[in-house]
Amino acid sequence: MKAISDPKVKAPSGREGGAVQRDLLRLITCGSVDDGKSTLIGRLLLDCGAVFEDRRQALQRDSKAVGTTGDAPDAALLLDGLQAEREQGITIDVGYHHFATPRRRFIVADTPGHVHYTRNMVTGASNADLAVLLVDASQDMLEQTQRHSFICALLGIRDVVLAVNKMDLVDFEESIFNGIRDAFAGFSSSLHFRSVVAIPTSAVLGDNVTRRSDRMAWYHGPTLLEQLEIVEIHADAAPQFRMPVQWVNRPDASFRGYAGTVASGELHPGDEVLIARTNVRTRIERIVSMDGDLARAGAGDAVTVLLADDIDVSRGDLLASPNKPPQIADAFACDLVWMSEAPLLPGRSYLLKCGSRTVGATITTLKYRVDVTNYAHLAARQLARNDIAYVNIATVEPIAVDPYQENRTTGGFILIDRLTNETVGAGMIRFGLNRAANIHHADFDVTKAARAQLNGQRPIIIWFTGLSGAGKSTIANLLERKLYALGKRTYLLDGDNVRQGLNRDLGFTEADRVENVRRVAETAKLFVDAGLITLVALISPFRAERRMARAIVAADEFIEIFVDTPVEICEQRDPKGLYRKARRGEFRNFTGIDSPYESPEHPDLTLDTATESAEHLADEVMQFLRRRGVLN
């Protein structure tokens, strides 16, 4: 370890010195609500001179008004920037703050401790090199600290500082510090951190933050600031070249450049590269920049490259070193952090964005959820916000990836809800399952078109959606009779009937409903392929799955019919007595009572059963099918 001088002497002003070359350390601070995180960071900023005089004065004013430290400046107020935070004394969002010493420059992500904001901590951790985990010396180690440690490890943080804070509340007692340090070592050993340095601190008093504590003479290690200055953040050894193509630069016909940021490795003109998706090799011809051509580019550089051959490359492609190419797969094993209020439902189709590539994706298997208090594996049917799980995921097209622990850019992805556009999850790939390589689509000589021709009809899915008791099965039954009378070959997939066979293993939770609809949709697709006019009568309560059902067949092979019967009328009719039972609480998750029904936004046809008879409505559908050219 290098000699450490007093930071106050060497850092009269912590702000930038223009000529000095300093490296940049990104760190995240995490801890539970009252561990004193904001105070600790505020202390670092104040002591490193990163706070201007006018803000110091504002701090003095604010401290008196809303602070918790009497007349002394409340350093936490430097950070809690949103009005709600100041009023409630908590940190809601990730805040980013800068400070510097002559040796290093720091960007610190201050993340909320409260369990509701764990997703924000994940955000901060995704870009951090090091984590400062805060523990309140006067409290037991909380579940939150274990959760945070786990997330840091999951997101690839290898270096950790354990700040055992509020030592002033336990009389600066060494044995208490040792107890917490050992407890942490106990549960974190399975997380494989490269370095863990425990430091006893008092952020309120400033002890062992930037100043060595006289009150804890028994402690001989570095102060927090010293540790942040000396910790070595190793780059991974000889990483392979990877660059996602972000944008194709085509100012005119003579220039076709591929713009992107080098994720790992290096590139030089003349280097051989692989286009991962197509497995085509070519060479880097030039690296173009506004300052002239470059002889080299490295990880983190944003470049524009010209390739030697005129080949098919577009946004979403990955340029890679041919020596160790990425995996190409459409199924992956990965760790997943769920961030949305809406639960993760296996079988539902989300958008997956990895690098510059966005594709449709589905969680195919929820292997287990992790209990963060003891890191045990628990069975799960769905995930709630802040859950962490190990899952298999399938994408609609193969993508090029690396294991996350080898490459954050090509191994990390987000999941996006297709309807709300919300970022609902973050994933870290462990490995590709190579399903794409092992299962090939077989083509047969008798085609869908040939089968349709033999049947003399246009195969199509007619999908009835609506509440239980709305009249879906009744109308579908009448419609099928009319089609049969015309000599059409049909099949009716009815929700109740399907549940007695194919879907007998499914219940009525949201996750099971999603899977129920997925199986029926896939079956209907096969029937269309077989040349049948396929009627589906299924509550199918969620827009996302109805959209999926439509998306897996051709655009003119799907008609969505909304049997629009208000819940009051359905309940009045109650043909199966289900509403009465649901009202009596005999079973749960009944659509319209305690489980949601999302009405179609743009159905092809809406049937109003309140005013028209089922017979009349079936005729209405027949007319619609004629207008659409399904029937002549």
Partner 1 sequence: MNHLPDDLRRLEAEAIFIFREVVAECRKPVMLYSIGKDSSVMLHLARKAFHPANLPFPLLHIDTTWKFRDMIRFRDETAECLGLDLIVHVNRAGLEQGINPIQHGSAAYTGVMKTDALKQALTAHGFDAAFGGARRDEELSRSKERVFSFRSKNHVWDPRNQRPELWNVFNCRIAPGESIRVFPLSNWTELDVWRYIEHENIRVVPLYFAARRPVVRRGGNLIMVDDARLPIGADEVVQNLAIRFRTLGCYPLTAAIESSAVTVIDIVRELETASTSEREGRLIDFDQTGSMERKKREGYF
| Catalytic residue set | 540
- Identify the residue among 183, 230, 259, 551 touching partner 1 (CB under 8 A): 259
- Identify the residue among 143, 173, 174, 422 touching partner 1 (CB under 8 A): 422
DSSP state of 169: G
∠ CA 270-273-275, rounded to 5°: 145
Give residues 314-353 in contact with partner 1 (rule: CB under 8 A).
Answer: 315, 339, 351, 353
- Asked if residues 530 and 451 have their Cβ atoms less than 8 Å apart, the reply is yes
Does the protein bind partner 1 through residue 455 (CB under 8 A)?
Answer: no
- Output the smallest distance, CB 247 to partner 1, in A: 5
- Output the smallest distance, CB 480 to partner 1, in A: 38
- Output the smallest distance, CB 17 to partner 1, in A: 6
What the block records as the tokens of 104 is 């290093």
Annotate each residue in 11-40 with x if it binds partner 1 (CB under 8 A) or - if it does not, as one string.
Answer: --x-xxxx--xxxx----------------
Dihedral sign computed on CA atoms, order 130, 215, 44, 226: negative
Q: Quote the radius of gyration of the chain (alpha carbons, Å).
A: 30
> For residues 298 and 456, which CB has a smaller minimum distance to partner 1 in the complex?
298
Q: Which helix (H) or strand (E) holds 370?
A: strand 357-371
Closest CA to 493 of 520, 455, 528, 526: 520
What are the residue ranges of helices labelled H in 337-447? 408-411, 435-438
> For residues 126 and 534, which CB has a smaller minimum distance to partner 1 in the complex?
126
β-pair partners for 508: none
Does the protein bind partner 1 through residue 216 (CB under 8 A)?
Answer: no
∠ CA 192-410-374, rounded to 5°: 30
For tokens 């239980």, what's the residue? 468
Does the protein bind partner 1 through residue 42 (CB under 8 A)?
Answer: no
Does the protein bind partner 1 through residue 70 (CB under 8 A)?
Answer: no
Does the protein bind partner 1 through residue 414 (CB under 8 A)?
Answer: yes
> For residues 289 and 453, which CB has a smaller minimum distance to partner 1 in the complex?
289
> For residues 358 and 509, which CB has a smaller minimum distance to partner 1 in the complex?
358
Q: How far apart (Å, rounded) are the C-alpha atoms in residues 482 and 242? A: 60
> For residues 1 and 9, which CB has a smaller minimum distance to partner 1 in the complex?
9
Does the protein bind partner 1 through residue 598 (CB under 8 A)?
Answer: no
Does the protein bind partner 1 through residue 355 (CB under 8 A)?
Answer: yes
Other beta carbons less than 10 A from residue 203's beta carbon: 27
- Output the smallest distance, CB 414 to partner 1, in A: 5
- Output the smallest distance, CB 596 to partner 1, in A: 20
- Output the smallest distance, CB 213 to partner 1, in A: 28
> What is the separation of C-alpha 396 from the centre of its chain, rounded to a whole number of angstroms?
17
> For residues 328 and 426, which CB has a smaller minimum distance to partner 1 in the complex?
426
Which segments of 262-296 are extended strands (E)? 266-267, 272-275, 280-288
- Identify the residue among 235, 290, 446, 485 touching partner 1 (CB under 8 A): 290
Per-residue CA distances from 579 to 467, 495, 594 (Å):
11, 17, 11
DSSP state of 402: -
> For residues 53 and 443, which CB has a smaller minimum distance to partner 1 in the complex?
53
Annotate each residue in 103-142 with x if it binds partner 1 (CB under 8 A) or - if it does not, as one string.
Answer: --x-x-----------xx-xx--xx---------------
Give the orientation angle of helix 143-154 with respect to helix 174-188, to 10 degrees: 50
